[in-house]
Amino acid sequence: MQGLQYDAIALLGFGEAGSDTLPKSAPGEVIIRVGAWSLADLRESAIGKVLMHQQDWYDKYHWSTAKLAPGVYRVRMPVPDSTDKTYAEQEKLLLPGEEVVPVALAAAVLLCHLKVAGTDLLDNGWTRCAESIPDEHHVDLNVRGGPVSVDDYWDGHRIDSLWLSAARKS
């Protein structure tokens, strides 16, 4: 995948495009400018009502309303060769300075790509996110031919379409 650049603030209807030019993206990398919003904010936005499944199972978890730190991020979605691995094995693929992508940031990337390209950036797969729920599960996102959906998988599960995505502040 060639590098992508998205000003999510403008694309997702949260404000005007930034005046600063986004940095150049490397192959396999998404550069994205985001605001201080949460997964719940994205779901309730005008674009979220169209391009996200209207799920509420995760509302009971604090991370659903945790706000992103606004700014520009470099996201690898997905991390190459991260399928067929447990969560612990996937974490070992993070580059220095990277962290597992927060769910709100991953959702913003998927929403922007759906809006601009009309395609599933994960090519019918899932991506694990940083947020966890009880019983050794991590939140994951998928598009799979429809709107963005929030699910979870057991950390020990190895699946050939379950990727990890990584992020770092630019």
**Phi and psi, residue 97, nearest 5°:** 90, -10
36: left (phi over 0), alpha (psi -120 to 50) or beta: beta
Q: Which residues, including other chains, have CB under 8 Å from residue 71's CB and lie 6 or more apart? A: 33, 34, 169, 170
Strand 126-133 and strand 137-142: the pairing is antiparallel
Q: Hey, what are 19's tokens?
A: 């005046």
d(CA 52, CA 45): 10
Rounded mean pLDDT, 101-130: 97
pLDDT at 1 over 80: no
Rounded mean pLDDT, 11-18: 88
Q: Per mean pLDDT, which range of 2-16, 119-133, 149-163 is the poorest?
A: 2-16
Residue 1 has a CB neighbour count (10 Å cut-off) of: 14
Rounded mean pLDDT, 91-117: 98
pLDDT at 146 over 90: no
Residue 85 has a CB neighbour count (10 Å cut-off) of: 20
Quick check: pTM over 0.85? yes
pLDDT at 154 over 80: yes
Place of tokens 């379950």: 162
Q: What is the average pLDDT score of the chain?
A: 96
Task: Give percent of the chain above pLDDT 70.
Answer: 99
Rounded mean pLDDT, 49-70: 97
d(CA 162, CA 3): 21
Q: Per mean pLDDT, which range of 9-18, 95-104, 120-129, 154-163 is the poorest?
A: 9-18
State residue 145's pLDDT score. 82
